Amino acid sequence: MSKGLDKVSYFSSYRGLPKSVYIVFFAQIINRFGDFVLPFLSLFLVKKLGLSYQDAGIAVMLTSLSTIPGSFTGGKIADHIGRKKSYAFFQLSAAVCMFLCAFLGNPQWIIFLICMASFFNGAVRPIISAIITDVLPAEKRKMGFSLSYLGINLGVSLGPLVAGFLFNHYIPLIFIGDAITSLIAVVLVLTNVEETLPDYSNSTCLNEEEKSEEGNALSVLMKRPKILFFLIINVFFNVVYTQHSFSLPMILDDVFGSNGASNFGVIMSCNALTVIVLTMFITHATRKWKSLNAISIAGILYAIGFGMIAFISSMPLFLLSTIIWTIGEIIMVTNFGVYIANNTPQNFRARFNAISSLSWAVGAALGTSLMGRYMDFFGVKAVWPLLFYLGLAGSAGMYMLEFRSNIKINRSKELN
């Protein structure tokens, strides 16, 4: 009987959330399912447009960098004119850019439009986070971010299969399909999500940390050094996590030779399947954990999952490693947004979400550029012990941040 009740409770954790959260969940599935272009972008640039590997690499880098200014732009506009209107404008703009690519043959124009689409898609991400934060009280935000994350992975797990078929049979449809799914997501949000704006009077403020403040994003961030330290520590974690797509294929090639690429595909499928199957259960099991404590544990799982690769050489152990660091990924993602949301002034929510995305981008950039140089000197096998220590360092940093926060809270209670 108790087992049956536990199963029901896993699903019931997602019950009773505002309608807007469920709409965002379905919009994420549709939008990420239709993310046809980016997974095949480098292959498209080389095989279909005839670019060299070097030029294709530069184009992909520009596409990734375009999301950073887009994120800041979307955050600022959403904090001033509202979430829904901003979402519709940026998502539709991305759709138009992708749609035009289907009818162009000039590589320069196609790359330019893809970069613009990435700019607009980058603007959408902090807006989605702000919508979830606006409509949920602090105690339910973890479930809201968990549901959004699950929607992303459901879409990502299916979309590339369709995109692969279209890439081989009718290239223009990868752009048209991308645009159509974006349009569907916009219609879904416009017709079902209520507009939200920050409450500058603070009459509906949920806690002291979320009260509206005057000034610009930088000055407000400086008043909240714990968020700044949080984002700096997060860079360590993302340097580690980035290796799942950078160093992992190389070690698999080193261990398995010609089977390395196919084994990497199996590992990525294992990662996606683990996210889809376990997100609900892990979120339910950790729902009462404090965000910083949860993220600290996620870092330890990163350290173990990636660190053990230094000592393994069989595919079953690589799959075990993947499951371990993927559980860390689930805990990390579902608690990261919660901490930012609970410690951000409500009139800066979208902008602070944009700033937090910069932390991930810096980690990814350092994790590829510096680790590439590190491998040139010490070899790919030397990466994994380093990742073990970086993961533990990040966990220690998050634990100390939580410890200092508790000291300040206790002092404040004693003064009152």
Tell me: the pLDDT tens digits for 287-315?
888 889 999 999 999 999 999 999 998 99
Q: Is the pLDDT of residue 11 over 80?
A: no
Domain extents for the chain? 19-193, 215-416
Q: What is the mean pLDDT of residues 62-69?
A: 82
Tell me: the pLDDT tens digits for 208-261?
666 777 777 777 778 888 888 999 999 999 889 988 877 888 888 888 887 877
Tell me: the pLDDT tens digits for 370-395?
877 788 888 888 989 999 999 999 99
Count CB atoms within 10 A of the CB of residue 55. 15
Predicted local distance difference test score (pLDDT) of residue 2: 45
Tell me the three state secondary structure of residue 286.
Answer: coil
Q: What is the DSSP string of 112-180?
A: HHHHHHHHHHHHHHHHHHHHHHHHS-GGGHHHHHHHHHHHHHHHHHHHHHHHHHHHHH-THHHHHHHHH
Predicted local distance difference test score (pLDDT) of residue 245: 76
Question: Look-up: residue for tokens 């549901």?
Answer: 147
Q: What is the mean pLDDT of residues 45-69?
A: 76
Tell me: the pLDDT tens digits for 128-186?
888 888 888 877 888 888 888 888 888 877 777 777 777 777 788 888 888 999 999 99
> What is the share, in percent, of the chain residues with pLDDT greater than 70?
88
3-state secondary structure 44-90: HHHHHCCCCHHHHHHHHHHHHHHHHHHHHHHHHHHHHHCHHHHHHHH
Asked if 70 and 120 count as a contact pair (C-beta separation under 8 A), the reply is: yes
Q: Which residue has the higher pLDDT, 165 or 89?
A: 89
Tokens of 386: 């380093």
Taking the C-alpha atoms of residue 92 and residue 34, their distance in angstroms, rounded to an integer, is 14
Tokens of 113: 């439009």
Helices (H), 260-348: 260-285, 291-307, 315-342
Predicted local distance difference test score (pLDDT) of residue 371: 78
Same fold, 19-193 and 215-416: yes
Predicted local distance difference test score (pLDDT) of residue 408: 65
Lowest mean pLDDT, pick from 118-127, 206-215, 284-293: 206-215
Taking the C-alpha atoms of residue 212 and residue 80, their distance in angstroms, rounded to an integer, is 13
Under the banding of pLDDT at 50, 70 and 90, the label for residue 5 is very low
Amino acid making up residue 229: F
Q: Which residue has the higher pLDDT, 200 or 271?
A: 271
Under the banding of pLDDT at 50, 70 and 90, the label for residue 71 is confident
Question: Look-up: residue for tokens 């004119």?
Answer: 81
Taking the C-alpha atoms of residue 356 and residue 360, their distance in angstroms, rounded to an integer, is 7
CATH number of 19-193: 1.20.1250.20
CATH 1.20.1250.20 fits 215-416, yes or no: yes
Q: Global pTM?
A: 0.77
Mean pLDDT of all residues in the chain?
A: 82
Q: Is the pLDDT of residue 84 over 70?
A: yes
Comparing CA positions, the residue from 283, 272, 281 lying closest to residue 335 is 283
Query: Angle at Cα 64 formed by Cα 61 and Cα 70, nearest 5°?
Result: 140
Q: Is the pLDDT of residue 202 over 60?
A: no
Tell me: the pLDDT tens digits for 95-113?
999 999 888 878 888 889 9
Q: Is the pLDDT of residue 51 over 90?
A: no
Amino acid making up residue 213: E
Q: Which residue has the higher pLDDT, 63 or 118?
A: 118
Lowest mean pLDDT, pick from 3-17, 153-167, 214-228, 399-413: 3-17
Under the banding of pLDDT at 50, 70 and 90, the label for residue 367 is confident
